Amino acid sequence: MDSFKLGNMDSRSAEALARLSAELEHRDAQDIVRWAVDRYPAGLVLACSFGAEDMVLVDMLTRVHPAPIIFYLDTGLLFPETYRLIDEAQTRYGFECVRVVPELTAAQQEEQYGDALWSRHPDHCCALRKVKPLQRYLADKSAWMTGIRRDQTLIRKNAPIVDFDRQHGLMKINPLAVWSSKDVFRYLIRNRVPYNPLHDHGYPSIGCMPCTRPVNPGDDARSGRWAGQEKTECGLHL
Ligand code: SF4
């Protein structure tokens, strides 16, 4: 078991982890991904929404891991462009994604909770279609890697490079925490990494179809997610 994977982490472990994260802060993202692969040879998974940041990590991870475990939360409500990118990425990089699904299909959810739960109770909808499936999937894993960046939302602004994720009970690694959106697209273009074409049509952040709108140039990148509501996060990264 990783020395940091302690349900009741003591202050010395927490300090050591904070030091480690501070050290990693000065390494480039590819090095951090390599470090994670070495550190967690079993039980490391990449959470992939197939957004721009996650495509960077797919590219980096497949450079250093012959058989990476890459999963996505299939809410059943993703854009057709996202499903097409999943197929393209699997073919290009030669991996098979783990498809993590909610207990209820979208149709069953509608039957049980009524039409368009996302518009009436988006937190409940995200809990059913994203948060709970993620909790179940991560239950037996050692570490997960995510593409969150500090400048995306207020909740993410202090995201460390590596931390113990108390919400899910495992290590969490954020190799792109210090990157900007420009860094992300520079990497995608330089390395000819496939990305969701919706990014070129006003969708800087892409989630489920019913809850994602295009934004105007210069608007906050996540303002198209749950537009008109106070919600800014699915609840996966608290
Ligand atoms: S993003 Fe919208 S549709 Fe997707 S799970 Fe959350 S509330 Fe439901």
Q: For 147-188, how does the pLDDT look when each residue is reduced to its tens digit (9 = 90+)?
A: 999 988 788 899 999 999 999 999 999 999 999 999 999 999
Judged against a pLDDT cut of 70, whether residue 6 lies above it is answered with no
* 40 domain residue, yes or no: yes
Question: Ligand 1 centre from 119 Cα, in Å?
Answer: 9
* 224 domain residue, yes or no: no
- Residue 225 has what pLDDT? 80
* 222 domain residue, yes or no: no
CATH number at residue 57: 3.40.50.620
- What average pLDDT does this structure show over 28-54? 96
* 16 domain residue, yes or no: yes
In ligand 1, the atom with minimum distance to the C-alpha of 231 is 7
> Per-residue confidence at 3, pLDDT binned at 50, 70, 90?
low
| Overall residue count recorded for the chain in this entry | 238
- Residue 87 has what pLDDT? 98
- Residue 222 has what pLDDT? 72
* 172 domain residue, yes or no: yes
Angstrom CA distances, 84 to 88, 89, 104, 234, stand at 6, 9, 23, 23
In ligand 1, the atom with minimum distance to the C-alpha of 128 is 5
* 17 domain residue, yes or no: yes
Mean pLDDT of the chain: 92
More confident residue, 163 or 224: 163
> Per-residue confidence at 2, pLDDT binned at 50, 70, 90?
low
The answer for residues whose C-beta is within 8 angstroms of residue 103's C-beta and 6 or more apart is 128, 132, 133
In ligand 1, the atom with minimum distance to the C-alpha of 129 is 5
Mutating to test ligand 1, I would choose from 234, 236, 237 the residue with most ligand atoms within 8 A of its C-beta, which is 234
Does the annotation mark 234 as catalytic? yes
The one catalytic residue in 48, 208, 211, 234 is 234
Opening angle at CA 90, ends 32 and 46, nearest 5: 30
CA nearest ligand 1 atom 4, residue: 208
In percent, how much of the chain has pLDDT > 90?
78
Query: 30 lies in which domain range?
Result: 11-211
- Residue 4 has what pLDDT? 55
Judged against a pLDDT cut of 60, whether residue 22 lies above it is answered with yes
What is the rounded CA–CA span in Å between residue 90 and residue 69? 12
- Residue 216 has what pLDDT? 85
Lowest-pLDDT range of 14-18, 59-63, 88-92, 135-139? 14-18
How many domains does one find in the chain?
1
Judged against a pLDDT cut of 70, whether residue 121 lies above it is answered with yes
